[in-house]
Amino acid sequence: MLIRKKEKKMAKEEQDKREGLFTGQDADGNDVTVYVKKPTVKEYRDSQISYNKAFRSALDSGAVLKKKLNEYMRDQGLWDDEKESEEQKLVDQMMSLEKVLKSGGIPLKDARKTALDLRKVRGRFRSLVAERTVLDANTVEGQADNARFNALVSLCILKENQSGPFFATQEDYDKRAAEPFAAEAASKLAGLIYELDPNYDDTLEENKFLSTYNFANENYELINTDGHRIALDEDGVTERLINEDGRYIAYKTDEGYKNQDPEQAYFVNIDGEEVDEEGTVAGAFSPFLDDSGKPVDVPSKEEASEEEVEEVAEKPKKRGRPKKTEEIT
């Protein structure tokens, strides 16, 4: 009993850390500070009105109930026995690979391969169920849940001094929902309401292993023995240097590589050839030639416009049909 009380206290302390002031940026890049709090019982009750209205509206519009979603997906050809079997297979694979990492006792290089395999399997699993996740949000219950959450946003995201709601109305929030600060504050509120783990990635066995043994950085991006971001080829062995955007890169000097100096870095393709930002191999293009074999300069838009104006000016005006009052000679 004492242990459970301690666990609840720790959970409460963690929750309290996530409540409070939050600063983000608006659409113009200006700082906006709001106070995000967990809903009270009354606020939950008030938001239920929005849930009930949205539930009825979605049901009347023909939306699918969550319990019938699987049947609907099968009718639409979005899900079948093969995908059902694949989903279970991937779940079993993840559990098996996680067990290997938890147990230890194998060569480190084999454990690294296991962690990378687990990452791939988890990625395939997420891709497989992604469509169902999207459709789940469009069910009757999904739409009603979304309406309730939006109502809670208007109640629980407050002004910096907590003097009242930051968003005056539901419509006000809807207009600004896409702004960075609003989206991040709503995400913070969702963590409080649904008790989402903000550090979920930290709990994944593959991430814990890769970061602990310095195969990944603090963002769980793969790194080599020198701490540089890398991507692996399909063989899972060949390493390629990448930048923060995932582009293949190389360095002009060893010192540049050692310091990961962006001024010394340049883009390369999969064959190691230098390329520009568009991915074109440097020096691969030669100018077109005119009839005498001389290079043709690429005309600028201004030159092209001037040529068009001159061409129009040189065209003779068409003589209109003379009016009846005019004398024809």
Q: Is a pLDDT exceeding 60 seen at residue 16?
A: no
Nearest Cα residue to 50 out of 194, 138, 146? 146
- The predicted-structure confidence for 161-210, as pLDDT tens digits, reads as follows 999 999 988 889 989 999 999 999 999 999 889 887 778 899 999 999 99
Domain ranges of the chain: 11-202, 221-316
Beta bridge partners of 256: none
List C-alpha distances in Å: 83 to 117, 125, 222: 20, 10, 30
- The predicted-structure confidence for 95-120, as pLDDT tens digits, reads as follows 999 999 999 999 999 999 999 999 99
Rounded mean pLDDT, 50-68: 96
- The pTM score is 0.72
Q: CB count, 10 Å around CB of 140? A: 23
Angle formed by the axes of helices 140-156 and 180-193, to 10°? 110
With contact defined as beta carbons under 8 Å apart, do 79 and 132 qualify? yes
Q: Structure tokens of 300? A: 């600028």
Measured in Å, how far apart are the chain's first and last C-alpha atoms? 117
Q: Structure tokens of 24? A: 């983000």
Q: What percent of the chain has pLDDT over 90?
A: 71
| CB-count burial class (<10 Å; 0-12, 13-18, 19+) for 220 | middle
Residue type, position 323, single letter? K
- The predicted-structure confidence for 222-259, as pLDDT tens digits, reads as follows 999 999 999 999 888 899 999 999 999 999 999 999 99
